[in-house]
Chain A
Amino acid sequence: MSTRSNEAQDRAPQTIQYVTVRIGGQLFGVPIEIVHEVFTPDRITRVPLAPSEIEGVLNLRGRIVTMVNMRRLLGLSGAADAVTAVGIERSGEAFGLIIDEVGEVLVLETGHREPNPSNLDPRWTELVTGVHRLTDELMLVLDVERALGRLATRRIAA
């Protein structure tokens, strides 16, 4: 993953391309290289006894994709209908992050990324690796790797 925070501290004017997604009103950015596709989830099968953040699994062209409800993962209320999902891949497994909507692709300088504000919801600080100030709103950089990692460790702890 090339979005580690140590790179952000590099002085070189590197840029990262983000796909912006909206989850519960908040704008997040996901590095474009980890986004495989955007798709509309269809026929999600619930997984019995699974953590509530996992909406279920579905068949995407022959592959089983594990669907993660990002709202629930971020502790946001009001579960939206699963209308849009971002397909990503993590250690060989396919995941679909259910989000509200997909925005655009932004090219942002890593140097402009600011650290998380200290009063950010602790649940979010784990999953957000910085903030970019856009012209009319803030975009949080979502660390998908950590978000899914948390899902895994939480499950083991539980």
Chain B
Amino acid sequence: MAQEPPPNLVDAFPGLAVTPLETNMDDLLREFLTETTESLDVADVELVKFERDPNNREILNNIFRLVHTIKGTCGFIGLTRLAALAHAAETLMDKFRDGIPVTQEAVSLVLVTIDRVKLILGDIEASEGQEPQGSDADLIDQLLAMATQPVAVEAPIAAPAADPVSLVPAPIRTEAAPTGGKLIQTLERELLPGEVSLDELERVFRETPVETPQAKVPAGPAGAPAPARRGDDDASPTSSIAAQSIRVNVGTLEHLMTMVSELVLTRNQLLEIARRNEDHDYKVALQRLSNVTGELQDAIMRTRMQPIGNAWQKLPRIVRDLAQELGKQVELEMLGSETELDRQVLDQIKDPLTHMVRNSADHGLEMPEDRRRAGKPEKGMIRLSAYHEGGFVIVKISDDGKGLDIARIKAKALENGLADEAELAKMSETQLFRFIFHPGFSTAAKVTSVSGRGVGMDVVRSNIEAIGGTVDVQSRAGSGSTFVIKIPLTLAIMPALIVEVSGERCAVPQNAVLELVRIQPNSEHAVRRLKDAPVLCLRNRLLPIVHLGRVLGLVPEQSEDTFDTGLIAVMQVGNESFGIVVDSVSHTEEIVVKPMASVLRQVTLVSGSTILGDGHVIMIVDPNGLAQHVAARSESLAGQAAENGQANAEAEDAPVSLLLFRAGSQEIKAVPLSLVTRLEELDRTRIEQVDGRAVIQYRGRLIPVVRADGDTGYEKTGVQPMLVFSDDSRVMGLAVDEIVDIVESRLDLELASASAHALGGAIIDGRATEILDVSHFLHLAFVDEPETDRNAAGGRRHLLLVDDSAFFRELIQPVLRGRGYAVTACGSAREALERLASDRRYDAIVSDVEMPDMDGFRFAEAVRGDLGMTRVPIIALATANPGLAIQRGRAAGFTDCVAKFDRPGLISALQEFACAAEGEAA
């Protein structure tokens, strides 16, 4: 298992995208430098062998071909100095082939020549294509002299080199080339200069290497070549070229990446240990290790970088074709195509980018005549630009077209039910523009083959967000639109804030965190509430706040949050700013992102996991998911009461958070968490007796405590877990034995309860659970208070309760009964209408807004209209946004609207209206 490259990585980084490089001279040159350096290294070895075994024609032929290829290629790409040198060397080699004896002197001369070639190559690389000034006449003369003169050797064979050596002798097959087999294969062909480079080009196309940026690699020695240099020190000038673009298998690279990731983890682990120890010597070495690891990580990361231009390559052609198809004139300008980013990221944004450019050409730019009329040049401009900013790459796609059509967007938003008129009117342009990223949203008047099917921008957005990026749009009517994409440079390693929340550690990507604010009650950094929504006043901004532990389901969904302690990480995702409350922030760390298993990818709030220095796995919180969560909440606060029936059905099915506890027996008991104000554990010594009843001093007041199991005595010592309920101004504690868990569960009361203290039984988490009736305990706690007095004057008032959720009916009935109302419950609006048709003596109607079949609005209209009951108060219970329901509800005939779980609100509304209206039938 350990030998394979970790599949998650392989999975996350699918095969290297094969994209042709620009066929410019630079790439050719780079390729040439690489090839030649490799060839020369081989030639070095071969020559040395040849020197020892002068009669081995095979070796001689190898060397000859190497030199010949170099000569040919140099000639082709215009490196005349090199070509001349190679030519001279070749001439000499040819003589060897013709039979002149191989002397040490001659071999040395060739080696010197090779060294010279290497030096020149180094300079060419350093100067990016310029051959250095200088002359090689000294060497050439020696070479030619050696070739032409039958020097003092045993068997001189004179053969003047009149023949230009481009006439290559018939190749001799070399079967067992001892080194560089692959290379020699290439050279076995008879190559003319042109052929060589074409071949090379094709190879470049086929095997686009992962390139390291050239500029960052130290170049070979500058200045004039020093002929004294010999093969023994050739490593430094040549290795730079070779190391720069050795072709590496992607798998190897990924493996390297994984290993570095592990190294980073190990380093972090050591740093963690070092934090606890005070050994200085050890620390210095560790610091060094840490730095080196960091650099190594950087370097490896760089191997994964590719210019964004690779993703742009097909665009000019696409735009050209599109322009022709649409009858438009389009110019595509691309800036910053050399901007580099992670290969994986590049793969991910390729399609979105293409789509957006097509969109710009199709939707953004006008027809030539329209442009002329608008006083713009007929030729439309699409500008693509990319640059680095912080740890991000910013890609902009702008056009000088007509801009986004706000009127159409509004109309479409209305049509798709994304917002209503009132909301639209309040929205800023930026907010309106963002609608184009909604699924199924297309403002193209007609569907073209190019776009307009509304399956684009939402996919673009989700693709970009999937890699931790954001996309936004700016637009001005008549002058064009600009899409701004912000994407992280890499996905594999990122700096993160390690936070602790409810005892669990999580990583929060640091690039989403703007600042940290400590919560200080009663200061400017206090968390305030706007109705139920907690907000932070930070300088001149109001930030929505969410509890990280809460949204991750780590803490109970209490009806009241406290924001007395902790830190708020102010996050920015796209244009969305919000704060997340955490208990503490421990440190920042470079974390290696490990993707979640596919079965867990649906968890939108978690984007991956990472292994901390201590070996623990922790979750990486997804800022995008959080932003969506916050946005969804604010959207629901902004009103979704008008949502259609299907959504309502889902809402009805939505799980309820339940607090599970034990009291008295081993059986599990539960109360809906929304009814619990706080969970407390307090010292039993604080329980006092007043007038025979148990009370405690709680937040400056005396509150009664009742045991959930019905007993009355209390132990004298130990800790007493307690649930605190509050109802109106009344606060009580419910003493339990043990708080077990908090679960999300669909709640169906399976059994009605015979006892007064319970609503009934339900199956929660596979266990039969008794759902307690909170109002019963409130009643017990305040038994002496004349609670029904409030309604005594008007006698027992009769309520009609309409709600499709059996659970909610069961929940609310006892509460209302406890308040002295007689309650008739109906499971649907139709049932209620039938009841009303036969019996109108109800003092008030309490109706759910969201119900299948007939919703609360239509119910209210029917009551007011069909039944003609104009005076009976109808109080709507809205799950989402009472404010909006009021607007719509007033028109439908609602008297008031309260949030569904806002019991005090319901009670006071009932008191206000049910008592005021003295019964319609009366």
Q: Does A92 contact B (CB under 8 A)?
A: yes
B729 at the binding interface (Cβ < 8 Å)? no
Task: Check: B162 CB closer than 8 A to any chain A CB.
Answer: no
Do A93 and B616 form a contact, CB below 8 Å, given A50-B600, A62-B265? no
Q: Are B602 and A156 in contact (CB under 8 A)?
A: yes
Q: Nearest Cβ in chain A — how far from B602, in angstroms? A: 5
B552 contacts A by Cβ under 8 Å: yes
A133 near B: Cβ within 8 Å? Answer: no
| Interface 1/0 per residue, A76-108 and B, CB below 8 Å | 010000000001010111110000000000000
A46 and B597: CB pair below 8 A? no
Give bound CA distance, A58 to B262, whole Å. 15
Instruction: Say whether B597 contacts A49, CB under 8 Å.
Output: no
Is the pair B605, A48 in contact by a Cβ cutoff of 8 Å? yes
Q: Is the CB of A47 within 8 A of B7?
A: no
**Which of A36, A66, A77 makes the CB contact (< 8 A) with B597?**
A66
* Contacts of B149-184 to chain A: CB distance below 8 A: none
A127 CB → nearest B CB, Å: 15
Nearest Cβ distance between residue A45 and chain B, in whole angstroms?
4
B11 touches A36 (CB 8 A): no
Which single member of B7, B10, B265, B615 contacts A43 (CB below 8 Å)?
B615
| B450 at the binding interface (Cβ < 8 Å) | no
Known: A48-B554, A93-B11. A59 touches B600 (CB 8 A): no
Q: Could you say which residues of chain A place their CB within 8 Å of the CB of B265?
A: 62
Question: Are B598 and A93 interface neighbours, CB within 8 A?
Answer: yes
Q: Does B594 count as interface, using CB distance less than 8 angstroms?
A: yes
Q: Is A30 an interface residue (CB 8 A)?
A: no
Neighbour of B617 across the interface among A50, A57, A92, CB < 8 A: A57
Closest to B6 in A: A63
CB within 8 Å for A43 and B11 given contacts A49-B603, A54-B599 = no
- Please, what's the 1-or-0 string for A39-56, where 1 marks a CB less than 8 Å from any CB in chain B? 000010111111100100
Give Cα distance in the complex from A94 to B596, angstroms. Answer: 10
Q: Which of A37, A57, A152, A156 is within 8 Å of B609, CB to CB?
A: A57
Given contacts A57-B617, A64-B8, A64-B609, contact A47 B2 (CB under 8 A): no
Contact B600 A45 (CB under 8 A): no
A50-B603 in contact (CB<8A): yes
Q: Are A48 and B619 in contact (CB under 8 A)?
A: yes
Return chain A residues, CB-CB under 8 Å to B611: 59, 62, 64
The answer to whether A148 has its CB under 8 Å from any CB of chain B is: yes
A158 contacts across to B, CB distance below 8 A: 602
Q: A57-B609, A59-B611, A66-B599 are in contact. Are A92 and B8 (CB under 8 A)?
A: yes
Q: How far is the CA of A148 from the CA of B618 in the complex (A)?
A: 22
- In the complex, what residue of chain B is closest to A58 when comparing beta carbons? B617
Contact mask for chain B residues 1-39; partner A; CB cutoff 8 A; 1 contact, 0 none: 110001110110000000000000000000000000000
Q: Is A61 an interface residue (CB 8 A)?
A: yes
Q: How far is the CA of A91 from the CA of B11 in the complex (A)?
A: 9
Interface 1/0 per residue, B582-596 and A, CB below 8 Å: 000000000000101
Contact of A48 among B1, B8, B599, B606 (CB under 8 A): B606
Q: Is A74 an interface residue (CB 8 A)?
A: no
Number of A-B pairs whose CB atoms are under 8 Å? 91
Residue of B nearest to A148 (CB): B599
A82 to chain B, nearest CB (A): 14
B700 contacts chain A at the CB level, 8 A cutoff? no
A95 contact set on B, CB distance < 8 A? 597
Whole-angstrom CA separation of A45 from B504 in the bound complex: 9
- Give CA–CA (A151, B504) in the complex, Å: 25
B765's nearest neighbour on chain A, judged by CB, is A52
Closest chain-A Cβ to B251's Cβ sits at a distance in Å of 13
Q: Does A123 lie at the interface of the complex (its beta carbon under 8 Å from any beta carbon of B)?
A: no
Quick check: B618 and A155 within 8 Å, CB to CB? no
- Residues of A near B596 (CB, < 8 A) are 47
Would B599 and A155 count as touching, CB distance under 8 A? yes
The distance in angstroms between the C-alpha atoms of A59 and B8, with both chains bound, is 14
| B552 and A36 contacting across the interface, CB-CB below 8 Å | no
Contact assessment for A45 and B554 in the assembled complex, using a CB-CB cutoff below 8 Å:
no
State the Cβ distance, A19 to closest chain B Cβ, in Å: 16
B765: shortest Cβ distance to chain A, in Å?
8
Q: Within 8 Å CB of B617, what residues of A? A: 43, 45, 57-59, 64
Interface size of A by CB at 8 A reads 33
A93 to B600, CA, bound (A): 11
Please give, as numbers and ranges, the residues of chain A lying within 8 Å of B11 by CB-CB distance: 91-93
State in angstroms the CA–CA spacing of A131 and B665 once bound together: 41
* Residue of A whose beta carbon sits closest to that of B9: A92
Residues of B within 8 A of A77 (CB): 766
Max chain A CB contacts within 10 Å: which of B6, B594, B599, B615? B599
Do A48 and B603 contact each other (CB < 8 Å), given the known contacts A64-B609, A93-B8? yes
Which residues of the other chain, B, contact A45 by a CB distance below 8 angstroms? 504, 609, 616-619
Rounded to whole angstroms, the CA-CA distance of A87 and B2 in the bound complex is: 13
In the bound complex, residues from chain B placing their C-beta under 8 Å from that of A63 are: 1, 6, 8
- Is B223 part of the binding interface, using a Cβ–Cβ cutoff of 8 Å? no
Q: B795 within 8 Å of A by Cβ? A: no
- A49-B599 contact, Cβ under 8 Å, with A37-B1, A58-B617, A61-B2: no
User: Complex Cα distance A78/B273, Å?
Assistant: 39
A50 to chain B, nearest CB (A): 6
Q: A151 near B615 (CB under 8 angstroms)?
A: no
Distance (Å) between the CB of A158 and the closest chain B CB? Answer: 8
Against A, the Cβ 8 Å flags (1 = close, 0 = not) of B489-508 are 00000000000000010000
On whether A152 and B6 interact (CB within 8 A), knowing A59-B615, A92-B11, the answer reads no
Bound-state CA distance A40–B592 (Å) is 25
Minimum C-beta distance from A90 to chain B (A)? 9
Please report the C-alpha to C-alpha distance between residue A45 and residue B506 in the assembled complex, in whole angstroms: 10
Within the complex, the shortest CB–CB distance from B793 to chain A, in Å, comes to: 50
Nearest chain B residue, comparing its CB with the CB of A36: B1
A152 to B172, CA, bound (A): 61
Q: Complex formed: what's the CA distance from A110 to B689 in Å?
A: 74
Task: Name the distance in Å between B822's Cβ and chain A's nearest Cβ.
Answer: 41
> Which residues does chain A contribute within 8 Å of B262, judged by CB atoms?
62
The residues of B that contact A64 with a CB separation of less than 8 Å are 8, 594, 597, 609, 611, 617
State A59–B611 Cα separation when bound (angstroms): 7
Chain A positions within 8 Å of B603 at CB level: 47-50
CA distance A43 to B611 in the complex (A): 12
Complex alpha-carbon distance, A36 and B7, angstroms = 14
Measured in the bound complex, the distance between the Cα atoms of B616 and A152 in whole Å is 25
Is there a chain A Cβ closer than 8 Å to B553's Cβ?
yes
CB proximity of A112 to chain B, nearest CB, Å: 31
**Measured between alpha carbons, how far is A51 from B599 in the docked complex, in Å?**
9
**A62 CA to B257 CA, complexed, in Å:** 13
Q: For residue A47, which residues in chain B have a CB less than 8 angstroms away from its CB?
A: 596, 600, 603, 606, 609, 619
- B599 touching A152, Cβ below 8 Å: yes
Q: Tell me the nearest residue of chain B to A60, going by C-beta.
A: B1
Q: How far, in angstroms, from A95 to B600 measured CA to CA in the complex?
A: 12
A92 to B595, CA, bound (A): 12
Interface residues as binary, A106-122 with B (CB distance below 8 Å gives 1, 0 otherwise): 00000000000000000
Q: Bound complex: CA of A46 vs CA of B600, how far in Å?
A: 12
Name A152's contact: one of B8, B552, B598, B615 (CB within 8 Å).
B598
B552 / chain A contacts, CB cutoff of 8 Å: 48-49
Q: How far is the CB of A44 from chain B (nearest CB, A)?
A: 8
Please report which residues of chain A, range 124-158, place their CB below 8 angstroms from some CB of chain B when the two chains form the complex: 148, 151-152, 155-156, 158
> By CB atoms of chain A within 10 A, which of B600, B606, B609, B615 has the most?
B600
Shortest Cβ distance from A95 into B: residue: B597
Cβ contact of A66, chosen from B1, B504, B600, cutoff 8 A? B600
Would you mind naming 23 contact pairs between A and B with Cβ atoms under 8 Å apart? Answer: A43-B617, A45-B619, A47-B609, A48-B603, A49-B603, A49-B605, A51-B599, A54-B599, A57-B609, A58-B617, A59-B611, A59-B615, A64-B8, A91-B7, A91-B11, A91-B598, A92-B7, A92-B11, A94-B1, A94-B7, A94-B8, A94-B597, A155-B600
Q: A57-B609, A91-B598 are in contact. List 6 more A-B contacts (CB 8 A).
A: A43-B617, A47-B596, A49-B603, A89-B7, A155-B599, A155-B600
Q: Which 4 A-B pairs have the closest CB atoms?
A: A92-B7, A48-B552, A66-B597, A45-B617
